[in-house]
């Protein structure tokens, strides 16, 4: 017998799979940050289509992937508002079954982007059986919705052409900004390192993990992969990590013991907004 939509509106297995290429994409998008937006504006704009926690799934077809979008975060509320305003409609048009997780580092200790992303992976999986994880800086907005927030056969780097770098890939192995790994790919590399405190290196460490596990970095082309970055000053408590160069020489010997299998943290609060799930965590930083 055919399975129908359940009481929660969860589409049953009877829905046909969504198309490989989502039919309602717009291509190049107009993106503008020099305008005042509030979270309430964004809720009014996209709220009717969302479920609490920033969750969405298409109703006319069965999504190809279940995607957790993970944003490492502290004190960038204005950027988050722009990000939500632009990304929710894009992710909906891409027909993803997705949820948005903002992983907020508690306190004033040194920032640890990679550890926050590991935490996002673990916390999202406690809620739903996501199979793909997109890790995104809060200040990066795609300007082409053909850049699909999905996983592929190899780890995927999505932010290939950022306006700040004149729309050129700065170097071949770059993996920072916005990237996507399937659950299996992420487990294969033991997640990110937890030990990059402050700015820099953690993305290159992941890039090396990927190559040491004999995977490649896949990318969209440099037209589809265009992004706008919201301009900002360097945050406090996120100075360049002076140890990052040395640490990158140690990826191979450390990756099996520094990552998901050594992750320690305490969840302080999980707050559900219509637009996102906000997870505040103590990452055990030195202050």
Give the footprint of ligand GDU on this chain (CB under 6 A): 71-76, 111, 113, 137-139, 176-177, 199-200, 202-203, 235, 238
To ligand GDU, the closest distance from the beta carbon of 203 in angstroms equals 4
The set of catalytic residues is: 137, 139, 199, 202-203, 229, 232, 234
Q: Angle, to 10 degrees, between the axis of helix 202-212 and the axis of helix 113-127?
A: 60
Nearer to ligand GDU, 61 or 110 (CB): 110
Cα–Cα nearest to 71, from 94, 56, 51, 87: 87
To ligand GDU, the closest distance from the beta carbon of 84 in angstroms equals 13
Nearer to ligand GDU, 62 or 109 (CB): 109
Please tell me the distance from the alpha carbon of residue 7 to that of residue 14, in angstroms, as a whole number.
15
Nearer to ligand GDU, 72 or 142 (CB): 72
Please tell me the distance from the alpha carbon of residue 59 to that of residue 18, in angstroms, as a whole number.
10
Furthest-apart CA atoms within the chain: distance in Å: 62
Strand partners, 73: 104
Q: Would you give the DSSP letter of residue 132? A: E
To ligand GDU, the closest distance from the beta carbon of 56 in angstroms equals 21
Please tell me the distance from the alpha carbon of residue 223 to that of residue 167, in angstroms, as a whole number.
9
To ligand GDU, the closest distance from the beta carbon of 123 in angstroms equals 16
To ligand GDU, the closest distance from the beta carbon of 129 in angstroms equals 26
Mode of pairing for the β-strands spanning 97-105 and 66-73? parallel
DSSP per residue over 33-80, as a string?
-SS---HHHHHHHHGGG-BTTTEE--SSSB-S-EEEEEEEESS-HHHH
Cite the DSSP H helix spans in 68-178.
Answer: 77-93, 113-127
To ligand GDU, the closest distance from the beta carbon of 74 in angstroms equals 4
DSSP H or E segment with residue 204: helix 202-212
Nearer to ligand GDU, 236 or 264 (CB): 236
Q: Do 285 and 109 touch, CB atoms closer than 8 A? A: yes
Nearer to ligand GDU, 42 or 116 (CB): 116
């Amino acid at each position: 017998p055919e399975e129908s939509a359940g009481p929660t509106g969860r589409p049953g297995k009877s829905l046909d799979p969504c198309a490989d290429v989502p039919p309602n994409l717009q291509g190049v998008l107009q993106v503008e940050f020099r305008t005042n937006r509030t979270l309430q504006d964004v809720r009014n704009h996209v709220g009717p289509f969302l479920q609490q926690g920033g969750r969405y799934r298409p109703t006319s077809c069965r999504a190809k992937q279940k995607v957790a979008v993970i944003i490492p975060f502290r004190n960038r509320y204005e950027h988050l508002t722009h990000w939500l305003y632009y990304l929710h409609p894009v992710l909906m048009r891409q027909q993803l079954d997705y949820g948005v997780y903002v992983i907020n580092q508690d306190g004033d200790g040194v920032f640890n982007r990679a550890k926050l992303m590991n935490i996002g992976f673990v916390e999202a999986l406690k809620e739903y059986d996501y199979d793909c994880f997109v890790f995104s800086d809060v200040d990066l907005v795609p300007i082409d919705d053909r850049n699909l927030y999905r996983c592929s056969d190899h780890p995927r780097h999505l932010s290939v052409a950022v306006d700040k770098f004149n729309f050129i890939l700065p170097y071949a192995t770059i993996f920072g900004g916005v990237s996507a790994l399937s659950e299996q790919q992420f487990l294969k590399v033991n997640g990110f390192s937890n030990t990059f405190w402050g700015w820099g290196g953690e993305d290159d460490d992941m890039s090396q993990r990927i190559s040491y596990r004999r995977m490649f970095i896949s990318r969209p082309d440099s037209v589809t992969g265009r992004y706008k970055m919201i301009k900002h000053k360097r945050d406090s408590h996120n100075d360049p990590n002076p140890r990052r160069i040395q640490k990158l020489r140690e990826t191979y010997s450390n990756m099996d013991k520094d990552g998901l299998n050594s992750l320690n943290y305490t969840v302080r609060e999980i707050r559900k907004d219509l637009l996102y799930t906000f997870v505040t965590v103590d990452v055990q930083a030195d202050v």
